[in-house]
Amino acid sequence: MASKKIDLRYFPGFLPLTYLCLFLLYAPLIIVLVYSFNDSVSITKWGGLSLRWYSDVFFGPEAPKFQTAAFNSLTIAVIAATVSTTIATLAATAMIRAGNFKGRSFGFVLINLPIMVPEIVTAVATLIFFSAIGFTTGYLTILIAHIVFCIPFAYLPIAARMQSIDNTYEQAALDLYATKFEAFKLVLLPLMAPGILSGFLLAFIISLDDFIITNFVKGAGIETLPTAIFGSVKRGIQPNIMAISTLLLLVSVVFVTLSYLVGRAGEKSK
Amino acid sequence: MATDVQVKDIAIDIRSVSKLFGDFVALDKVSLGIRDNEFFTLLGPSGCGKTTLLRTIAGFEDVSAGEIVLYGKDIASLPPNKRPVNTVFQQYALFPHMDVMQNVKFGLLRQGVDEVEATKRVSEVLELVQLNQFANRLPSQMSGGQQQRVALARALAPKPKVLLLDEPLSALDLKLRQAVRLELQQIQNETGITFVFVTHDQEEALTMSDRIAVINDGQVQQVGTAEEIYEAPKNKFVADFIGETNLIDVKVKSVSGGKASCILPGGAAINCSAADGAKAGDGHLSIRPERVALVSPTKGTFVGTVTRQIYLGTDMHVDVQLDDSETVKVRVQNSKVAKIPEIGTKAGLNFDSDAARLLVD
Ligand SMILES: Nc1ncnc2c1ncn2[C@@H]1O[C@H](COP(=O)(O)OP(=O)(O)OP(=O)(O)O)[C@@H](O)[C@H]1O
Ligand SMILES: [Mg+2]
Q: What is the pLDDT of residue B163?
A: 96
What CATH number does residue B30 fall under? Answer: 3.40.50.300
Question: Would you say A247 and A57 are in contact if contact means Cβ atoms under 8 Å apart?
Answer: yes
What is the ipTM score, two decimals? 0.84
B163 and B292 in a single domain? The answer is no
Q: Given the CA of residue B54, which atom of ligand 1 is nearest to it? A: 18
Residue to mutate, B20, B27, B52, B219, ligand 1, most ligand atoms under 8 Å from C-beta: B52
Q: Classify residue B105 by burial, with Cβ atoms within 10 Å: 0-12, 13-18, 19+.
A: buried
Tell whether ligand 1 has an atom less than 6 A from the beta carbon of residue B21.
Answer: yes
Distance between Cα B244 and ligand 2 center (Å)? 23
Task: Tell me how long chain A is.
Answer: 270
User: What is the tally of structural domains in chain B?
Assistant: 2
B115 and B214 in a single domain? The answer is yes
Q: What is the pLDDT of residue B9?
A: 86
B217 and B288 in a single domain? The answer is no
Q: pTM of whole model > 0.90?
A: no
Q: Using a CB–CB cutoff of 8 Å, tell me whether A192 touches chain B.
A: no
Query: What is the rounded CA–CA span in Å between residue A200 and residue A81?
Result: 5
Q: What is the pLDDT of residue B338?
A: 64
Whether residue B145 is contained in a domain is answered as yes
Q: Which of A127, A150, A266, A158 is nearest to A203 (CA)?
A: A150
DSSP B290-352: GG-EEE-GGG-SEEEEEEEEEE-SSEEEEEEEETTS-EEEEEEEGGGGGGPPPTTSEEEEE--
CA A269 and chain centroid, separation? 25
Query: What is the rounded CA–CA span in Å between residue A209 and residue A198?
Result: 17
Question: Would you say B316 and B337 are in contact if contact means Cβ atoms under 8 Å apart?
Answer: yes
Query: What is the rounded CA–CA span in Å between residue B177 and residue B187?
Result: 15
Q: What is the pLDDT of residue B6?
A: 53
B165 and B251 in a single domain? The answer is no
| Mean per-residue pLDDT, B206-235 | 94
Query: What is the rounded CA–CA span in Å between residue B1 and residue B73?
Result: 21
Q: What is the pLDDT of residue A1?
A: 42
Distance between B93 CA and the closest CA of chain A, angstroms: 5
* The pLDDT of residue B126 is above 60: yes
| Domain end (from B180, B197, B231) | B231
Tell whether ligand 1 has an atom less than 6 A from the beta carbon of residue B46.
Answer: yes
B91 and B165 in a single domain? The answer is yes
Q: Using a CB–CB cutoff of 8 Å, tell me whether A33 touches chain B.
A: no
Q: What is the pLDDT of residue A4?
A: 61
Whether residue B99 is contained in a domain is answered as yes
Tell whether ligand 1 has an atom less than 6 A from the beta carbon of residue B199.
Answer: no
Q: What is the pLDDT of residue B337?
A: 59
Amino acid (one-letter) located at B129: V
Whether residue B300 is contained in a domain is answered as yes
| Domain end (from B167, B197, B231) | B231
B11 and B53 in a single domain? The answer is yes
Q: Using a CB–CB cutoff of 8 Å, tell me whether B141 touches chain A.
A: no
Q: What is the pLDDT of residue B3?
A: 47
Query: What is the rounded CA–CA span in Å between residue B129 and residue B108?
Result: 17
Tally of CB atoms within 10 A around A7: 8
Q: Using a CB–CB cutoff of 8 Å, tell me whether A172 touches chain B.
A: yes
Edge-first strand listing for the sheet containing B346-350: B293-295, B346-350, B302-311, B315-322, B327-333
Contact A169 B106 (CB under 8 A): no
B190 and B275 in a single domain? The answer is no
B171 and B283 in a single domain? The answer is no
Whether residue B53 is contained in a domain is answered as yes
Q: What is the pLDDT of residue A90?
A: 93
Residue to mutate, B18, B20, B24, ligand 1, most ligand atoms under 8 Å from C-beta: B24
- Return the H-helix or E-strand segment holding B283: strand B281-287
Q: What is the pLDDT of residue A2?
A: 47
Q: Given the CA of residue B198, which atom of ligand 1 is nearest to it? A: 22
B215 and B251 in a single domain? The answer is no
Whether residue B241 is contained in a domain is answered as no
B139 and B169 in a single domain? The answer is yes
Query: What is the rounded CA–CA span in Å between residue A45 and residue A28?
Result: 15
Residues in chain A predicted with pLDDT less than 50, given as ranges, are 1-2, 270
Q: Mean pLDDT check: name the lowest of A72-86, B83-97, B206-220, B304-318.
A: B304-318
Structure-model confidence comparison of residues B97 and B336, the more confident one? B97
- Return the H-helix or E-strand segment holding B15: strand B10-21
Buried b (16+ CB within 10 A) or exposed e, B132-142: eebbebbbeeb
B354 and B271 in a single domain? The answer is yes
Confidence of residue B153 (pLDDT cuts 50, 70, 90): very high
Q: Which residues contact B256 (CB under 8 A, 6 or more apart)?
A: none
pLDDT in tens, A20-45: 999 999 998 998 899 889 888 887 88
Whether residue B304 is contained in a domain is answered as yes
CA A86 and chain centroid, separation? 15
What pairing do the DSSP bridges indicate for beta strands B85-88 and B162-166?
A: parallel
Edge-first strand listing for the sheet containing B219-224: B85-88, B162-166, B194-199, B39-43, B211-216, B219-224
For chain B, report the end-to-end CA distance as a whole number of angstroms.
Answer: 20
Nearest CA to ligand 1 atom 19: B47
Write the DSSP symbol of residue B249. E
Residue B309: beta bridge partners? B318
Contact B89 A182 (CB under 8 A): no
Taking CA–CA distances from B79, the nearest residue in chain A reads A174
Residues of the domain holding B268: 246-358
Amino acid (one-letter) located at A4: K
Helix A239-269, helix A139-163: angle, nearest 10: 30
| Mean per-residue pLDDT, B90-100 | 93
Q: What is the pLDDT of residue B8?
A: 53
| Domain end (from B187, B203, B231) | B231
B211 and B284 in a single domain? The answer is no
The backbone region for B16, taken as left when phi is positive above 0, alpha when psi lies in -120 to 50, beta otherwise, is: left
Residue to mutate, B42, B51, B199, B214, ligand 1, most ligand atoms under 8 Å from C-beta: B51
What CATH number does residue B343 fall under? Answer: 2.40.50.140
Whether residue B222 is contained in a domain is answered as yes
The helices-and-strands tally (H runs, E runs) of chain B is 8, 20
Q: Using a CB–CB cutoff of 8 Å, tell me whether A165 touches chain B.
A: no
Whether residue B238 is contained in a domain is answered as no
Q: What is the pLDDT of residue B113?
A: 94
Q: Given the CA of residue B24, which atom of ligand 1 is nearest to it? A: 5
